[in-house]
């Protein structure tokens, strides 16, 4: 009764070393679809699509820019479509 999503389905693909000179880089894409809780003031469903490129910088440091599109965000007051761009860093240890 309190969960935002009552059901979720997602799938994605990742490719490693697709650029011959950059074997430690990866690129990927995914899609997620959620059915949202009817007890909350949300739209009934939400879909998200994302593409990313994980770039090896040096040693164990990576940067990962990602572009996410939500054609039907769950929040009723949100603009449709919603687009976000994020960059995160990863350090493996």
**pLDDT per position as a tens digit, 57-85:** 999 999 999 999 999 999 988 888 999 99
**pLDDT per position as a tens digit, 11-44:** 999 999 999 999 999 999 999 999 999 888 899 9
CB 66 within 8 A of CB 42: no
- The conformational region for residue 68 under phi > 0 = left, psi -120 to 50 = alpha, else beta, is beta
- Specify the pTM: 0.84
Reference 26, options 13, 10, 8; nearest CA is 13
């Amino acid at each position: 009764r309190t969960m935002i999503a009552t059901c979720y389905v997602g799938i994605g693909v990742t490719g490693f070393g697709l650029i011959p000179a950059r074997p430690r880089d990866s690129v990927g894409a995914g899609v997620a679809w959620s059915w949202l809780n009817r007890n909350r003031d949300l739209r009934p469903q939400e879909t998200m699509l994302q593409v990313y490129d994980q770039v090896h910088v040096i040693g164990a440091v990576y940067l990962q820019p990602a572009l996410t599109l939500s054609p039907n965000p769950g929040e009723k007051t949100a603009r449709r479509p919603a687009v976000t761009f994020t960059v995160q860093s990863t350090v493996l240890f």
